Amino acid sequence: MWFHNLQIYRIPAPWAISAEQLEAFLAKRVFAPCSSLEMQTQGWTSPRDSGQLVHIVDRQMLIALRTEKKLLPASVINQVTKDRAAEIESEQGFAPGRKQLKDLKEQVTDELLPRAFSQLRTTHVWIDPVNGWLIVDVSSPSRAEDALKLLLASVDKLEASGLRTVHSPLTSMTDWLVADEAPSGFTVDQDTELRANGEGKATVRYIRHTLEVDDTRRHIAAGKQCTRLAMTWNDRISFVLTEGLAIKRIAPLDVIKEESDPTNRNDSERFDGDFLLMTGELNKMLNDLVFALGGEPAV
């Protein structure tokens, strides 16, 4: 299994919480489906359908957040409320007041909720207690924050913070394009986004397009900065780095796929082997990327 996106946090290393302790913490907030009157529920679930809330391979931990959300559009609630209000006005001879409309809207919501469709979503979190990484596999920072908030509420005295580097990705990516030189161990690929800081935030995007040095330098000289940059690390992993220090569109390349040989392995062994390979490669890639961004600031 491979993560597709990385929202990156730091935890103290070595991490003092064992897999058994983490299991006990998460067990207090296990996922339960929505009741008939709930719009959304969240909780921890088994990442491998084994009943265990923490899957561990060579000290690397994998946990999973399950979210159920009722799909009940506000437009539907408002339309039904409007129709009911018209009926009430016809019966009583005058339009419902503000409080009556508020109560009516709540009543309509309660009536419609049991019939609403549900959307289930699972968010995986990788915890590296050896090197101090806490990685959430989502593209949205807000969804990563949801997972982190529940983890902070579940685990006593958990310390976690967003990854910070001495040089910002925005400045570094722009500098790499101006110099036409990627940092050691990396190459620049064909996708990038350049955006101006002005009110209009004029944006230029290159998609599967060779970056011409003169073109990118001209845009940068005009005041644009690089906000997204596709890169490859050591011919092993391709990804897109964002200005917010998130990593998206991760793809292991052929050299890694060849090392993940599924021959004569069952599903469990294949999963564990791929997870161990992924965590090992991503740990090295993250270390190189942090170094390329000037390292982490001293505390």
pLDDT in tens, 99-124: 888 888 888 888 887 777 888 999 99
**pLDDT tens figures, 248-259:** 999 999 888 777
Q: Is the pLDDT of residue 275 over 80?
A: yes
Among 5, 293, 250, which Cα is nearest to 164's? Answer: 293
- What pLDDT is recorded for position 76? 83
Residue 15 and residue 127 in contact, taking contact as beta carbons nearer than 8 Å: yes
Tokens representing residue 118 in the block: 């549900």
The model carries a pTM of 0.86
Evaluate the CA torsion angle 254, 258, 264, 270 in order and state its sign. Answer: negative
pLDDT greater than 90 at residue 265: no
The Cα 266–Cα 271 span in angstroms is 9
Least confident of 50-54, 205-209, 225-229: 205-209
Contact 77, 110 (CB under 8 A): no
Q: Pick the residue with more confidence: 166 or 92? A: 166
Share of the chain above pLDDT 70, in %: 98
Closest CA to 226 of 212, 206, 208: 206
Question: Tokens standing for 164?
Answer: 């910070």
Residue with the bigger pLDDT between 206 and 22: it is 22
pLDDT of 289 > 90? The answer is: yes
Distance (Å, rounded) from C-alpha 182 to C-alpha 172?
Answer: 10
- DSSP three-state, residue 299: coil
* H-type alpha helices, 38-197: 74-92, 98-112, 141-154, 169-179
pLDDT tier, 90 (very low <50, low <70, confident <90, very high otherwise): confident
Q: Name every residue whose Cβ is closer than 8 Å to that of residue 264 and which is 6 or more positions away in sequence.
A: none
Which amino acid is it at 199? Answer: E
| Mean pLDDT, the chain, whole residue set | 91
Question: Taking a C-beta distance cutoff of 8 angstroms, is the pair 12, 159 a contact?
Answer: yes
**Nearest 5 degrees, angle CA 226-CA 231-CA 232?**
170
Q: What's the rounded Cα separation, in Å, for the pair 289 and 296?
A: 11
Please tell me whether residue 265 adopts helix, strand or coil conformation. coil
Rounded CA gap, 130 and 192, in Å? 33
What pLDDT, on a 0 to 100 scale, did the predictor assign at position 260? 66
How many CB atoms sit inside 10 A of residue 154's CB?
A: 21
Q: What is the pLDDT of residues 209-257, one digit of tens each?
A: 877 888 889 999 988 999 999 999 999 999 999 999 999 999 999 888 7
In 10 A of CB 239, how many CB atoms? 24
